[in-house]
Every structure is written in structure tokens, then in C-alpha cells.
Structure 1
């Protein structure tokens, strides 16, 4: 374990040249204070955060100072926003503070969100608020606990600096960690600005640090795009299986490594609604839950176009076509596990889809229904005490077919229940629970984040926490839409 000043720092992205970034120092916050640090993540990264002086850490997070070995930059990129190309994008409220290489040779970015204005702020204040920062701090832990590829958050701070959103709020910063923060939009920026040599250099950079197995291939750029396509499909398949709605799937929000990031308006499904929209600015429903797989392919086609100087069009098209088969295969594999199937049967997709259709028709809670199935045997499925989730007539008919199916895989139903409990979360970061936690943090109750991080690290087992965290929301707590400032 190493302290922050002992890490093996690098500036590999900045070395690509000034066209891809601008050197910017964080703008200090007024009266900053440390809200929370993610000790579990710090241990994984080999960082001794526990012995770090809180005052020093707070200063680094709030822009009061930086280590001599850091050289913060704002990244330049562009992208398609709601289907329209926007050339005027970039890190408008965040900075890549530095990078470090851990003892196993893996490179990590330390990225500070809410660090102040940059050349790409487009007139905005460059700040984040406690509300949005707590939400991202929690959801990155939730996604990791569910096994969904994601960026993560190492630390969270607040300050007395006022920030104008819908109302006056308090400023905050979030220290985000990822192997890379390069997006589809980085390549689009280089392509549309005619910097084709730099496109190759950026692709070589990603391959060298994150896909070294491709470096010696003759068609390494085609293989690169193929790998991006596959990792994106894997990520979105996980979203669909666990009911995650991203809300703003613009190409500037798409990680080149297939990591979920840029958490703005997001949600996990409560009642199963295939067309749920979690972003109240998404008037057309472009990024509705059921649209996400198709939007992923659309975004990949935009990336493929940006890479057309490196890759033959037929190879691009082949990778895009393979995306559909990969996301379907990954989705079916993961969803079979959620339903407890250990073998693959011809009628499994029909049985699973009919269950989802019934959930939507009957207004059943997505996660709670599957958790009940994982905690009870067939003899109890008609029990009225099961909160009316499983004892509705149409659902009872489906349950009889489901019982026949699981008998093909299990002789002992306790084995099925155990297997299902390992992939069906008892706890999910529902929107109303996140909002409840935000209010507690804003009131100075920071310890609640200790409880949440412990729960989200393994949401599949019983935890000592408020009992309502494992229950569906009340009717007035369902379907909350968020804004991009949320």
C-alpha cells in the first residue's frame, strides 16, 4: 500500500499532444470538507487512503493545491448529442488530475469532477453539487457490486461555495477512477477536425495501454474496433439484465473501454416498464430503457465512421453486425442466471420474455419479484403473504410453466434458490433511496455512506441496514425522472 505522494505517476494522455487537451489547474472551493472516502476501492488500487491526512486530502480534492507530480488537464472531445453532432464539447467541469501505474502494471486515471471552469465549459460554472456527486458516488459502487462495467469513485468532498442550479446548492467534487476516460467523442473530434494522424496515434495509445494483445496484429485497428464493439455490447447487456437506465447515451458519454460513466439522469427500474424514460429532457424517448441496445449500435456506427481512415468499411460493418449477436447472447446468458436456469433450453427466451411482459402488464416490481422467486419454493408461490407479487392469476399460470422448467435443472430447489440469490440483488439503489440519502448527507449525516457502500459491495446478501432498502417503493416514489444536473 502506498500513500498518494508515493504513487507511480504518469502523464501518458497529455503526451499525445496539446490538440487533445488543455492544461488547467482546479479552481479552489470555499471552506471545503471531506464527506467520504471509498476505502475498499483504495485497497484495490493499492492506495493507503486510511492513513492520509484528511486535511491534505481535502485540499487536493477541493482545488486548494495539487501534488508537484500532477499536471491537471481538461480533455477535448466532441460527440453526437441526441443524434446531432456537437463540435463544442470537452471536459467542462472536470479535470484529469493525473495518472498512475499500480504494482501490477495497470494504469489508472484520477479525474476530479466539479473542479471549476475549463476552456470547454461553454459559459457554465464548472461545478458539481452535493446532490449529483452523492448520486454518482453511490451508483458507481452499485454498478461494481452488480458486476456491471463502470468507472468508480474514490472520494467525495463538499464546500460552502454556492452553486446556482434550479436553486442555490452547495458545491462538491468527486474523485473518479477509471483505466481511461477516453470516449467515442475523442475519435469523433479528431475525425471531424481533420486530424487523421492523431486518430491513429490515439488508437495506438488505447491499444498499448488497454489492449496490448492486439499490438502485433496485422489488422490491429479492425481488432480494436471489434473489441470496443464487444465490450460495449457486454456493458449494455448488463444494463438490460439489471434494469439500468443510463438516460444520456450521447457518444461523448460512451467509454472506449465499455465502462459505464457520466452518470447524470439514471435509474434502476422499479416497476418493470420496458419504455421507461429516466431523463425528463429526453422528450422523444430516444434513450428509453428498451432503446438502449439499439442506441449502443448507433453510437458504435458513429465511432466506426470516425475510424474509417484506419479500418476498411467491410470490417466496420462486420463488427457492427456482430454487436447484435453478442449483446443477445450475453443478455440471454445473464438473464437465464437471474431466472435460475443452469442449462440452455429452446423455449427459455419465450418463458423469460413472457414473465417480463406479465410484470409490465400487472405492474410488478422487477427486482423484488425476482428476489421473491429466489427466496421461496414453488409450494409458497401462491402464498398471499408474498405482497401480491406472485399470486395474481395470470402470473400463477406462468409460475406453473416456470416450475416445470426449473425441474429440468434441479432436483433440490434449495440449490436453485441459492444460485438465484447470488445474482438477484436484495438491495438496489432505487432513485427514491438515493434521494433520501442525499438529504441525509446534506444534513451532515455522512456515516450513512458507510452503510450504503457496505450494502452495495455485495447487494445479494442480508445486511444490517434500514429494512425499507430491500422493499419496492411506494406508488408516490416510483418512476422519478431526473434532470442532467441531478
Structure 2
């Protein structure tokens, strides 16, 4: 059987300055450890063929499939606020693009496929742990309904990579609406290549914002579109307790998807200042800072687009500032609407924001688990006698005081208790990728070549809003000795 990818490549048809043509580096003994069969079908691929040895060789980069036009994309970026004029895909190769069953163009990229001209003395490889982490978390985000890149496959290479120690090597096959970033625009802006910026903007509009084709001010509208998508995306992160960890401009997707899962994590106890990433020593990308950083990144995008706004610099700046000024309101609306749903409010009344903020403040003071507090609040909505939510608080009286006001407020809503609980359970997950669970899965795979825990965790996280009695333990927060205090980048 032959593996067939129906490639229809567009990015590699852009000028050579946008990328470097480079093939993946062959590996010794590729072995498929996970194929996302439903995603394969969605992409128009045959999962049975992908699971053959020939398929594993393609997914590991040992064999380049017919029709592929492998490239490493060029981009720049602000990394923790410091600008680097050339970054690029240092350990990833874009094989090509396919049109999925919904008519959406998707990139198929190999991550960890060997060095490229952008590797900056790196080996271009990925260790098994970061590959499993990205597979788990990206697919969990998809199940939570959050725009994200997807994971098609994970393959071990039969080789080791050297980090602090020798680790099993692996390759992740990643699927994205595209891999175009704020940093892609910055790459050309720093070179003052206005023609390339225009060419890139036109490509982005055609691919991600086709409704803007024919717009009188397409580049203004493009910035507005990216601002809206990023504002809504970050709001959705906060609503599930997600911390990206490395919100550099080169990790900020123009399409509005979550991209580049490195030291990402989900909060256990609610803490607005929570940081997990070992490299975020100053807390730049802490949980509550994410909206501010998203706007900072978007401001860098606006700077790149200014030459396309018109010849009058001062006027262009004013127009960009006006567009960026929509971010706070768009974010706040998405975030507050989401919070109201999480506490079972379906109409908007004065005092709602203060009521919800009081809950968050009490959660922070009482180290209440973010995910379980909201999920158990749904139980309390369905049954006033249910006390699991108050059990999350070190001082249950703090919850009782708040719950009295909450019940008075929900009494003004038309829904029945059962309807409210059912609605809350569709937005408040019970299962998230708990950091200690992810680490346990990685250790089992790396140390024992045991992928059964990985398979089970992926299975549970595919249904985050459903009670799964057989896997109830996966909802539990970590015990004190299980807490993961730091996560690490896979580079």
C-alpha cells in the first residue's frame, strides 16, 4: 500500500525569502506510537496505511511523500521582550498543505525532524517527553473547544537526543490552519521589505480571512481580525486555567490558534500569578498577564503593518491605535460572558462581574482548585445540599457567604436547577491535563517504553465534560508530593 497525501501547497509558492527548502533528516528506526485516526480521516488520509511501516517512515521524516514540498519557514520574534531578527523553524519542516473534509486548508508539519538553516547550532531534534506533552495538551485543548493546532501522530526515532542527559528521540506530526506568526511579519519588517509584508498579508487574508477580500481597507481589517481572534482565544485560555508559558511573538498565530506547546500547563489551585515555565523567571507570561501580553504582541504586528496603512505615518499610527484599542473590550466581553456561563448565569445584570470576582478572590485566598470548584458549583446548582464545592475551600465559610448571594442571583433566572447544572457542565470540564498526570505518562514512556498510561490519559481527555466513573481519579488534584512546580521547554 502507498501512503498518499493530497497536497495542494501554497506557502511554498511564495518567494524564496519566506522559507528555506530543506528535507527532513532520516532517522534510524522509526516506530509509530500514536496515530490520531479521526484526524487522519478528517484530513483525507487513510489511517490504516499510515499505521504501516511505510507510514511510520513518512511521519518520522525518513521518507518524503510524493507531492510534498518540504520547507522550513522564516520568522523573527520577540523572546521575553528581546527582539531576535532571525529565528525560523529550527527543528520543524512543513511537508505541505492539504484541504480537509470541511474544505479548510491545513498545514502538515514534522516537529523534531532534524536541523534546518534556522537551527542556530541546535540539533533540530525533539525528545520524547515534549512530543507526548504537545500531543496530550493540544488534543485536550481541541476537546475543550479551544482553537488549537492538532496532533496527527507521534513517532519514536530509534535514536537518542542529548539534553541534560540522553533521551529517546521522537517526531510529532502537527496540523495547523497555518504556521504564520506575528514573528513572520516581523522577519520582513526588520528588513524593511514592504513588498514581502504586503505579499504575506495578502496570503493571510486569502487563507484565513477571505471575508476581507475586496475590503476597501484590507490591511486595517486584517489587523482588526487578528486582534479579535487573539482576544477571544486568550479569554478562553483563562476560562479553563491554561497557561501557555512562552507567549513570544513567534509563538503568536495569525490564524488565532493556540500554537507551540512548550512549558504549558493547567492550574490546579487558582492563583492569578501562577507561573510554571522554568524559563519565565520574572513571571512575564503568568496566568493573569496573558491578555496584556497578547495585546503587546498585537502591537508588534500593527507596527509591521503600518507601511500598508498609507504614506502618512502619523495617521497610520492613529488608525492602528484605534484598532488595537478594541482589544480590551473584546477580551473582557468574551471573558465575562464565559465566567457568567461558568457560574450558571444566562442573563446579564448589574453586579454580576463583582459577584464572580468575589468568588475568584475567595478561591485564590483559599487555594481552591480552579477546575473542580467550577465543576462542583454545577452540582450545587442542581442540588442545594451538595457541598463538594465548599470542600474546595480551606475556610468553607468563605464559600457559604458567597454562595448565599449566588443563589439569590440565580433565583432571578428562568432556568430550572437541572437546566442550570446541565448548562454549567457543558462549559466546566471535570478532566484537564493535570500536570502530575502528564509527567507520570512521560516518565512511563521514557523510562519503561510503556505507552498504556499515555493512551488512557488521551482517552479520558477526549471527553473532558463527561463524568467518567471508571476514570474518576483523573479529576483529582495532585497530592502534595505529586505537585509539579515547574515545566520545561522542549528545545
Say yes or no: TM over 0.5: yes
- State the partner residue of 1:28: 26
- State the partner residue of 1:290: 288
Candidates 43, 46, 49, aligned match of 1:48: 46
1:98 to partner: Cα distance: 1.0
1:196 to partner: Cα distance: 0.8
Is 1:315 the counterpart of 2:319? The answer is yes
Structure 1 contact 3–48 (Cα < 8 Å) conserved: no
Structure 1 contact 410–416 (Cα < 8 Å) conserved: no
1:382 to partner: Cα distance: 4.5
Is 1:414 the counterpart of 2:418? The answer is yes
Matches within 5 A, 1:290-439: 290-311=288-309, 312-376=316-380, 377=382, 379-382=384-387, 387-389=391-393, 392-410=396-414, 412-439=416-443
Is 1:460 the counterpart of 2:465? The answer is yes
- State the partner residue of 1:478: 483
- State the partner residue of 2:239: 241
- Whole-Å Cα distance in 2 between the matches of residues 341 and 278 of structure 1? 32
RMSD: 1.9
Structure 2 contact 363–393 (Cα < 8 Å) conserved: no
Task: State TM-score, norm by structure 1.
Answer: 0.95
Question: Secondary structure at 1:307's aligned position in 2?
Answer: helix
The C-alpha deviation readout for 1:40-99, integer Å capped at 9, x for no partner, is 222332322134352011101222111121111001100111111101301000010111
The C-alpha deviation readout for 1:129-161, integer Å capped at 9, x for no partner, is 110000000111111111111100100001221
- Whole-Å Cα distance in 2 between the matches of residues 380 and 465 of structure 1? 25
- Whole-Å Cα distance in 2 between the matches of residues 435 and 104 of structure 1? 35
- State the partner residue of 1:14: 12
Question: Secondary structure at 2:277's aligned position in 1?
Answer: coil
Instruction: Identify the range of structure 1 (14-23 vs 448-457) with the bigger mean alpha-carbon deviation.
Output: 448-457
Structure 2 contact 379–386 (Cα < 8 Å) conserved: no
Is 1:90 the counterpart of 2:94? The answer is no
Question: Secondary structure at 1:141's aligned position in 2?
Answer: helix
1:447 to partner: Cα distance: 3.8
- Whole-Å Cα distance in 2 between the matches of residues 411 and 137 of structure 1? 38
- Whole-Å Cα distance in 1 between the matches of residues 29 and 15 of structure 2? 35
Unaligned runs of 5+ in 1: none
- Whole-Å Cα distance in 1 between the matches of residues 392 and 95 of structure 2? 51
Structure 1 contact 421–460 (Cα < 8 Å) conserved: yes
- Whole-Å Cα distance in 2 between the matches of residues 448 and 19 of structure 1? 44
Question: Secondary structure at 1:309's aligned position in 2?
Answer: helix
- State the partner residue of 2:313: none
- State the partner residue of 2:279: 281
Matched residue count: 483
- Whole-Å Cα distance in 1 between the matches of residues 199 and 392 of structure 2? 58
- Whole-Å Cα distance in 2 between the matches of residues 386 and 302 of structure 1? 44
Unaligned runs of 5+ in 2: 310-315
Distance 1:347 1:478, change over 3 A: farther
Distance 1:217 1:446, change over 3 A: same
Task: State TM-score, norm by structure 2.
Answer: 0.94
- Whole-Å Cα distance in 1 between the matches of residues 467 and 318 of structure 2? 50
Question: Secondary structure at 1:310's aligned position in 2?
Answer: helix
1:192 to partner: Cα distance: 0.3
Question: Secondary structure at 1:22's aligned position in 2?
Answer: strand
Distance 1:463 1:209, change over 3 A: same
- Whole-Å Cα distance in 2 between the matches of residues 322 and 155 of structure 1? 38
Distance 1:264 1:53, change over 3 A: closer
Structure 1 contact 382–396 (Cα < 8 Å) conserved: no
Structure 1 contact 382–390 (Cα < 8 Å) conserved: no
Distance 1:53 1:278, change over 3 A: closer
The C-alpha deviation readout for 1:150-184, integer Å capped at 9, x for no partner, is 10010000122111112210100000001110000
Structure 2 contact 78–249 (Cα < 8 Å) conserved: yes
The C-alpha deviation readout for 1:169-214, integer Å capped at 9, x for no partner, is 0100000001110000010000101211010001101111221111
- State the partner residue of 2:268: 270
Question: Secondary structure at 2:307's aligned position in 1?
Answer: coil
- Whole-Å Cα distance in 2 between the matches of residues 426 and 485 of structure 1? 28
1:101 to partner: Cα distance: 2.0
Structure 2 contact 49–55 (Cα < 8 Å) conserved: no
Question: Secondary structure at 2:290's aligned position in 1?
Answer: helix
Question: Secondary structure at 2:384's aligned position in 1?
Answer: helix
1:315 to partner: Cα distance: 2.2
